[in-house]
């Protein structure tokens, strides 16, 4: 007799297409989709019956005697939960699949900084046509080839950025906690104690680091002082990695050329559903390309994530080793 498995998908995860999970799982899986906001009492009643929770923050304690065998997060960040919040021995796994889309987002923004196609050229053409110029008299834009990109954190995103940068003929530098000397698409790689050289030599500085006490305000006023005046800094990791005041002052004073920022300091909440992303008026500056933490979000990426979630659930039901285990629960009632 085939064992039946039960999964609870939390609709309030920021992921779309969650209703399709059951369609890509074997028939011995039953999937329920509930909302934390709308179905909280129902979730509390039925929670002990599920083998798997798929979602983000649950907002209630999971009983130690529950059937829970896996907490599967359908996205990457898990800094909102600790091992002490999960029953002892329950694995928490996360999901990637976002690295290619974020790398493409970054490359597009870097190209825009070099060409000014949408920010300058297109707007000028719409307003002034040729503006009395011959086609070879300018304005002249910049190239990617021969420029140096410095990647801070050579994880999944950093590697994809390095590959694409190399394809554009760029010099690639990186600092990484795990020294990957075998990466052929990186020209120079070092530990974090040599990050000063990266700041001094890079035309583009790409931050991909997670948040937390080890990385908070890693990039501060002194780091910006080391950068080239023509440098552009990008952050797709966590906002807190770059000190908020230091970023604003470097841009407002034009200490550096510009920024590409996708991750922020303020986010929507119940009390303020549409805040400005920084306590400084960064949205008024003309030397920053801003996006609302959506550099990863494509339909294809979402589908890949659900395929991974389904694959991990199949591993669980077949007794195979789970992938992307972040930690095991440690709570003892």
Which superfamily, per CATH, for 99-290?
NAD(P)-binding Rossmann-like Domain (3.40.50.720)
Helix, strand, or coil here: 184?
Answer: coil
Q: What is the pLDDT of residues 226-245, one digit of tens each?
A: 999 999 999 999 999 999 99
Tokens 């009643």, located at residue? 45
Predicted pLDDT of residue 139: 72
> What local confidence, expressed as pLDDT, does residue 59 receive?
87
Give residue 121's pLDDT.
84
- Pick from 80, 87, 97: nearest CA to 64: 87
What band does 14 get if pLDDT is binned at 50, 70 and 90? Answer: low
| DSSP reduced 3-state for 299 | helix
- Which part of the chain is CATH 3.40.50.720? 5-97+299-328, 99-290
Tokens of 89: 């021995």
Q: What's the confidence (pLDDT) of residue 51?
A: 97
Kindly report, residue by residue over 197-234, the tens digit of the pLDDT. 999 999 999 999 999 899 999 999 999 999 999 999 99
Contact indicator for 240, 278 with CB cutoff of 8 Å: no
Q: Give the global pTM.
A: 0.90
Mean pLDDT, the chain, rounded, equals 93
Q: Are strands 70-72 and 91-93 parallel, antiparallel or unpaired?
A: parallel
Q: What is the CATH number of domain 5-97+299-328?
A: 3.40.50.720
Question: Which neighbouring-strand residues pair with 233?
Answer: 205, 259
In sequence order, what DSSP letters do the residues of 122-174 get, joined into one string? Answer: HHHHHHHTTTT--TTS------STT-EEEEE--SHHHHHHHHHHHHTT-EEEE
Contact assessment for residue 117 and residue 125, using Cβ atoms and an 8 Å cutoff: no
């Amino acid at each position: 007799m085939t064992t039946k498995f039960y999964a609870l998908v939390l609709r309030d995860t920021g992921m779309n297409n969650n209703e399709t999970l059951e369609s890509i799982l074997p028939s011995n899986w039953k999937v329920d989709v509930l909302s934390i906001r709308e179905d909280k009492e129902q979730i509390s009643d039925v929670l002990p019956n599920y083998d798997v929770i798929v979602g983000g923050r649950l907002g209630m304690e999971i009983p130690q005697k529950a059937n829970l065998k896996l907490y599967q997060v359908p996205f990457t960040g898990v800094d909102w939960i600790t091992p002490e919040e999960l029953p002892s021995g329950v694995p928490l796994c996360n999901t990637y699949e976002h690295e290619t889309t974020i790398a493409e987002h970054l490359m597009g923004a870097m190209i825009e900084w070099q060409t000014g196609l949408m920010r300058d050229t297109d707007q000028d053409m719409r307003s002034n046509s040729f503006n009395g110029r011959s086609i070879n008299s300018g304005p002249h834009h910049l190239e990617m080839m021969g420029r140096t990109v410095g990647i801070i954190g050579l994880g999944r995103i950093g590697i994809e950025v390095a590959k694409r940068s190399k394809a554009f003929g760029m010099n690639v530098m990186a600092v990484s906690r795990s020294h990957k000397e075998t990466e052929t698409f990186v020209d120079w790689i070092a530990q974090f104690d040599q990050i000063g050289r990266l700041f001094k030599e890079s035309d583009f500085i790409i931050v991909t680091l997670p948040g937390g006490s080890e990385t908070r305000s890693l990039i501060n006023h002194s780091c910006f002082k080391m950068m080239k005046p023509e440098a552009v800094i990008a952050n797709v990791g966590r906002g807190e990695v770059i000190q908020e005041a230091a970023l604003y002052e470097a841009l407002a004073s034009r200490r550096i050329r510009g920024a590409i920022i996708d991750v922020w300091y303020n986010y929507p909440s119940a009390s303020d559903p549409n805040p400005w992303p920084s306590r400084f008026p960064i949205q008024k500056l003309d030397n920053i390309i801003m996006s609302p933490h959506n550099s990863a979000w494509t339909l294809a990426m979402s589908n890949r994530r659900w395929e991974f979630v389904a694959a991990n659930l199949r591993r669980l039901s077949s007794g195979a080793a789970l992938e992307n285990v972040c930690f095991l629960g440690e709570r003892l009632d």
